[in-house]
Amino acid sequence: MQFMLLFSRQGKLRLQKWYVAHPDKAKKKITRELITTILARKPKMSSFLEWRDLKIVYKRYASLYFCCAIDQEDNELLTLEVIHRYVELLDKYFGSVCELDIIFNFEKAYFMLDELVVGGEVCETSKKNVLKAIAAQDLLQEHIP
């Protein structure tokens, strides 16, 4: 996976994670380009599009779009699974997650993603383990004044 973006239906970026380094300018350009392309797509369309030499896999959950860029050889369906897994995790953690949860606790959303995906590769496939690790870290955080 090359990067993951979360953005709202209004085109506002909510989260971005880059696993391949790009200069800030390029990141902004890519983000803008993808947001417009994806928002222009109709709901009945497939979740995949070819973009530059990458494949974009996106999925909409409520008002949020989750969008991943993967290599040509990567498995699109697997990427959808990753996205779904992430959404499930957020849901479990926040308790029926909504966009505002992610806006106000964006660092938690990042921590969660970091447990799930490291360096662009899936790290932990068990939801239980991820939540356990996050809970342990939260505990650690709260115990230190």
Partner 1 sequence: MALRKVKGNLERMFDKNLTDLVRGIRNNKDNEGKYIAQCMDEIKAELRQENFAVKANAVAKLTYLQMLGYDISWAGFNIVEVMSSSKFTYKRIGYLAASQCFHQDTEVVMLTTNMIRKDLNGQNMYDAGTALTGLACFISADLARDLANDVMTLLSSTKPYLRKKAVLLLYKVFLKFPEALRPAFPRLKEKLEDPDPGVQSAAVNVICELARKNPKNYLSLAPVFFKLMTSSTNNWMLIKIIKLFGALTPLEPRLGKKLIEPLTNLIHSTSAMSLLYECINTVIAVLISISSGMPNHNASIQLCVQKLRILIEDSDQNLKYLGLLAMGRILGPHPKAVQPHKDLVLACLDDKDESIRIRALDLLYGMVSKKTVMEIVRRLMTHMDRAEGTFYRDELLQKIIQICSQNNYQYITNFEWYISVLVELCRMESSQHGALIAAQLMDVAIRVGAVREFTVGQMALLLENAHLLLGPAAANSSIAEVLFAAAWICGEFAHLLPNARNTLEAIVRGRLWSVAGHIQAVIVHNLVKLFIRIVVTAEEEDDADMINEVTALLEERLATWSSSADLEVQERAVFALQLVCLVRDKRAAGLKLGPELALLTAGELNPVAPKAQKKVPVPDGLDLDAWMNAPPSESEGSGDEDLLSGGDLFFRSEEPPSPSVGRKNRKAQHISEEDIMQRRAARLQEQANNPYYMKTTSNRSSTRSSPKTSLANLNVDEIPMQAIELDVPLTIPGMTSLSKYEMVDGDGDNKKLRHKKSKKRSKRKNLALSSSEEEEAPAPLVINTDAEMPEGAIVSDDDDRDNRPLDDPHRALDIDLDSPLSPTEVLPVLHHREAPAAPKLKRSSKPASSTVDAAKSKTKKDKSRKSKKKEKNGDLLGSEQKEMALDIGASVTDSKPKPYANGVDGKKTHDDIEFWLSTSDPVEQPPEAEPENAPAAADATQKSKATKKSSKEPKKEKKSKETSKKVSKKSSRKSELNLPLVDGAPSSDLRTPEGVDRRDYEVANGHHASNATPDRHKLLAEDSAVAVSWRARPAADGLKQIRLSLSFSVSSQLSDSMTDIRLVRLHLPDTSSLALTRVNATSSDIDLERALLSPGAPVKKALTVEVQDATVPHKLRGALYYSLNGGSERVLPLKFEVSVLCCLSGAGASREAFSELVSSGALTARSAFTTSCPDISFEQLLRVLCGDGSFGVVERVQNTASLYAASLSGHHVCLLTKLKDSGGVCVDGKASDGTLLANALDVLRAALTAAP
Measured from the CB atom, the residue of 74 and 91 that comes closer to partner 1 is 74
Name the token pair of 51: 């973009």
**Residue 119 burial by CB count (10 A; 0-12/13-18/19+): exposed, middle or buried?**
exposed
C-alpha to C-alpha distance for 54 and 50, rounded to whole angstroms: 6
Cβ at position 11, least distance to partner 1 in Å: 12
Site for partner 1, rule CB under 8 A: 13-19, 21-24, 28, 42, 44-50, 73, 75-78, 80-81, 103-104, 106-107, 110-111, 114-115, 118-126, 129, 133, 136-137, 140-141, 144
Angle between helices 127-143 and 106-116 (to 10 degrees): 130
Residues sharing a CB contact under 8 Å with residue 42, sequence separation 6 or more, in sequence order: none
Cβ at position 85, least distance to partner 1 in Å: 10
Measured from the CB atom, the residue of 48 and 61 that comes closer to partner 1 is 48
Measured from the CB atom, the residue of 87 and 122 that comes closer to partner 1 is 122
Cβ at position 92, least distance to partner 1 in Å: 18
